[in-house]
């Protein structure tokens, strides 16, 4: 049983940017030297998210559009009344998508679907410096 972890640093351009981090996460799993186990990909932030999708232009615009229908920007949020940072909708969207995913791997390779990429979703209203923690647990 082994445990390995690494922090990835990301720079985002602002709201609704979706970054493909599959290669970076795969590299951490390979670098761990572990053959079989699980990789937890977590971001310590409440206005961003980690999930999976097919990384293609249609979805990169469909996902933000769906989030706009679920938690619209131009409605009132109690969070904004209290903090005035104008990102109540960002926090709600983040809570819905979630801050982490866990992916199993075998032979040092993530068990992702052919059209399934790991993505970081920026939901805040401004560019941010972000961190993603990849924690790998498994057998050598």
Binding residues for Zn ion, rule: CB under 5 A, are: 85, 87
Closest distance of CB 113 from Zn ion, Å:
34
Closest distance of CB 12 from Zn ion, Å:
16
**88-97 and 57-70 helices, crossing angle to 10°:** 120
Closest to Zn ion by CB, 57 vs 84, is: 84
Q: Which residues on adjacent β-strands are paired with residue 49?
A: 121
Closest to Zn ion by CB, 43 vs 87, is: 87
Closest to Zn ion by CB, 69 vs 82, is: 82
Closest distance of CB 66 from Zn ion, Å:
21
Spatial CA neighbour of 90 closest among 50, 120, 131, 46: 46
Closest to Zn ion by CB, 26 vs 87, is: 87
First to last CA, the chain: 7
How much helix, strand and coil, in percent to the nearest 5, is found in the chain?
30, 35, 35
Closest distance of CB 45 from Zn ion, Å:
11
């Amino acid at each position: 049983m082994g445990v390995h972890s690494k922090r990835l640093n990301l720079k985002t351009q602002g709201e609704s940017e979706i970054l493909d981090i599959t290669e970076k996460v795969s590299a951490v799993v390979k670098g761990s030297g572990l053959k079989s186990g699980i990789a937890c990909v977590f971001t310590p932030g409440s206005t961003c998210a980690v999930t999976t999708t097919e990384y293609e232009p249609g979805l990169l615009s469909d996902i933000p559009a769906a989030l706009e229908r679920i938690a619209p920007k131009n409605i009132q949020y109690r969070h904004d009344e209290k903090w005035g940072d104008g990102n109540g909708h960002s926090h709600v969207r983040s809570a819905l998508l979630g801050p982490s995913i866990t992916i199993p791997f075998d032979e040092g390779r993530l068990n992702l679907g052919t059209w399934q990429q790991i993505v970081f979703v920026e939901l805040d209203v401004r560019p941010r410096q972000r961190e993603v923690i990849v924690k790998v647990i498994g057998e050598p």
